[in-house]
Amino acid sequence: MTAATDTAVETKRLNYLAAIREAQIEEMERDESVILLGEDCEVGVFGTTDKLDEQFGTNRVRTTPVSENGFAGAGIGAAMTGLRPIIDLTIAAFVYVSMDQLVSQAAKNRYMFGGQARIPIVFRAAMLYGGNAGAHHSDRPYPLFMNTPGLKVAVPASPADAKGLLKTAVRDDNPIMFFEDQTLWSQREEVPTSSEFLIPFGQAAVKREGSDVTLVAIAGSVPRALKAAKLLERDGISVEVIDPRTLVPLDWDTILASVEKTGRLVVADPAHLSCSAASEILATVAERAFSSLRVPPLRVTTPDMNVPFAPSMLVGFYPDPDRIAAGVRKVVDHG
């Protein structure tokens, strides 16, 4: 069963974190080669791994020393010997500590060894931006890994997508960077209960159909883009909202088809402006669908500066419904 073929399925209401926990449990029950490694795995700082050692044993659920480069490397080695590790890096900013293993080993080994070794591993990383966590804990580093051949990148924006994409990631024979958006943790929705609920990578979701503007929204910007679309509807502006769900691979067909229909493009991306996912989407659309664009495309992102701690300085810092709506109005007013 995949998300694309579901018709009438049993569901239960889960929040984002509970959906991730359920995905891990189902995959560990299905396949004994799936293991969990990471800081505080037995405690489960965010509630996605706590007490799983009691269910699956400490051979499969291991709390590691606080050494991201060390346990990321251990996970890569385990993957090369036939296991399917899920590495809980806890906070997305901790990926920097493990960059050598992620970029020099996980991303390259299958290629360097001529396909003799598979690297079926998932690196989970929680993006804690938007909650006054300061510069060290507020990063959204997924654009870095879009520029690293050999890695796939997922950015689920709903509980159902978090479950379906994580299960797909665990079954993939390639290394996956799985970025979880903390601003969505409390979001609840009906999530399929089937253990075979899978969402394919490279398949975007059209969250709202429209005819005037294509609005591509990434991670936590998705619900904000939908709110902006509702605001704009009052002004007679019809917005098509697209959630890519994965950035590598990226569903260009859906994005390009929408731009060809609307003639306008806005991308809402909570990462920094320069070299962002938004930048790549604008550049590719300009290359491949330039004749369809009526006006220059536009990015709504986070400024190129370190994230401040003061709550007053975070007002309007990230893409919010008002900033996104203003961007859409700008391209509509342009022509």
Do residues 258 and 288 touch, judged by C-beta distance below 8 A? Answer: no
CATH architecture, domain defined by 205-334: 3-Layer(aba) Sandwich (3.40)
Q: According to the model, what pLDDT value does residue 4 have?
A: 47
Give the chain's length: 335
Question: Which segments of the chain belong to CATH 3.40.50.970?
Answer: 15-192
Is residue 227 classed exposed, middle or buried when 0-12, 13-18 and 19+ CB atoms within 10 A define those classes?
Answer: middle
d(CA 248, CA 103): 15
Q: What is the pLDDT of residues 97-111, one digit of tens each?
A: 999 999 999 999 999
6 SS3 class: coil
What three-state secondary structure class fits 266?
strand
CA distances from 6 to 193, 198, 199, 297 (A): 12, 10, 11, 34
Q: Note the pLDDT of residue 206.
A: 98
The crossing angle, in degrees rounded to 10, of helices 221-233 and 321-334 is: 50
Dihedral pair phi/psi, residue 268, rounded to 5°: -105, 120
pLDDT by residue for the chain (335 residues), tens only, comes to 665 445 578 999 999 999 999 999 999 999 999 999 988 765 456 777 778 888 888 899 988 888 888 999 999 999 999 999 999 998 899 999 999 999 999 999 999 999 999 999 999 999 999 888 888 888 999 999 999 999 999 999 999 999 999 999 999 999 999 999 999 999 999 999 999 999 999 999 999 999 999 999 999 999 999 999 999 999 999 999 999 999 999 999 999 999 999 999 999 999 999 999 999 999 999 999 999 999 999 999 999 999 888 888 888 899 999 999 999 999 999 86
In which residue ranges of the chain is CATH 3.40.50.920 found? 205-334
User: The CATH number of 15-192 is which of 3.40.50.970, 3.40.250.10, 3.40.50.2300, 3.40.1130.10?
Assistant: 3.40.50.970
137 is catalytic: yes
Measured distance CA(90)–CA(99) in Å, rounded: 15
| Sign of torsion over alpha carbons 17, 18, 22, 23 | negative
Instruction: Give the chain's radius of gyration (CA, Å).
Output: 20
Per DSSP, the chain holds a count of helices (H) and strands (E) of 11, 14
pLDDT tens, position by position, 75-128: 999 999 999 999 999 889 999 999 999 999 999 999 999 999 999 999 999 999
Whole-angstrom Cα distance, residue 319 to residue 321?
7
Q: Catalytic residue among 136, 137, 272, 334, which?
A: 137
CA distance 197 to 213: 32
Single-letter code of the amino acid located at 163: K
Task: Name the percent of the chain lying above pLDDT 70.
Answer: 96
Structure token pair of residue 327: 């961007």
- Give the pairing of strands 11-15 and 34-38: unpaired
